[in-house]
Amino acid sequence: MSEPTPYERFGGAPFFEALVHEFYEYVAVDPVLRPMYPEEDLGPAERRFTMFLEQYWGGPGTYSEERGHPRLRMRHHPYTIDPEARDHWLACMRVALSARNLSAEDDAELWTYLVSSAFAMVNTMDLPEA
């Protein structure tokens, strides 16, 4: 019998759907993040992020089937992602992840990935003008 994938350990589709849904509830009211989403309805972004996380953690490959290779930096390039945006993203995600009540080990594994990814998406270090 093989080891369960992280996708299975975390709780499968219901886990990722709940995590991403709650995350986008915070994004919807965040003054730094919300302007980065041109669509009035955040539903499509929520669906894409859910599919991406599911696939990354060993779930269905729907993301690649529908959208091709993730190419995260390229897909995020049109948006100015500075350290402030990164920190807002991480704050929203931390609250959503904490509400999922994963084991300490699973939480740490997922959180480490999310932090690393958030830092990798930063594409400008420009500081706001005084």
- Give the model's confidence band at 18: pLDDT under 50 very low, under 70 low, under 90 confident, else very high: very high
User: What is the 3-state secondary structure of 10-34?
Assistant: HCHHHHHHHHHHHHHHHHCCCCCCH
| pLDDT the model gives residue 20 | 98
Span 86-111, mean pLDDT? 97
Longest dimension (CA), the chain: 60
106: enclosing H helix or E strand:
helix 104-121
Give me the pLDDT at residue 37, please: 86
- Judged by DSSP in three states, 68 sits in coil
Q: Give me the residue spans of the domains in the chain.
A: 11-121
- What lies within 8 Å, CB to CB, of 34 at 6+ separation is 27, 28
40 has a pLDDT exceeding 60: yes
48 CA to centre of own chain: 10
Q: Let me know how many helices (H) and strands (E) the chain has, helices first.
A: 7, 0
Q: pTM of the full predicted structure?
A: 0.87
Minimal CA–CA distance to 4: which of 59, 61, 62? 59
CATH architecture of 11-121: Orthogonal Bundle (1.10)
pLDDT grade for 77, boundaries at 50, 70 and 90 = low
The pLDDT tens digits of the residues spanning 43-52 come to 999 999 999 9
Q: Are the CB atoms for 119 and 93 separated by under 8 Å?
A: no
